[in-house]
Amino acid sequence: MAVTNIDQDFMLRVESALDQIRPYLEADGGNVKVLEVTEDMVLKLELLGACGSCPMSAMTLKAGVEQSVLKAVPEIKSVEAVNVMPLSV
């Protein structure tokens, strides 16, 4: 269930954080789209383009996208992509 009491300033901070990482995603033919913020402050994203099928997308999500968002929007507890396969070790 998506959080309904998120204000426009909050979402602008999220988008601004994502805008910091987007050029790197776009350089590899990808992008990211915000789907929702859950009640427990988990940001749900969809990785688009090449990012949706890249074997390194889980690492990109954690090392790039999540770090950028958590730094700019500390209220967010974690970032998840609905279409990322977990890293295999």
Q: Average of pLDDT values for 9-35?
A: 93
Q: What is the pTM of this model?
A: 0.83
- Residue 44 has a pLDDT of 94
Distance in angstroms (rounded) separating the CA atoms of residues 43 and 41? 6
Tokens representing residue 73 in the block = 């929007």
pLDDT band at 1 (very low <50, low <70, confident <90, very high): very low
User: Which residue type occupies 62?
Assistant: K
Whether the predicted pLDDT of 16 surpasses 60: yes
Q: Are 65 and 79 in contact (CB under 8 A)?
A: yes
Q: Are 15 and 50 in contact (CB under 8 A)?
A: no
pLDDT digits (tens, 9 = 90+) for 26-72: 998 999 999 999 999 999 999 898 887 777 888 888 888 999 999 99
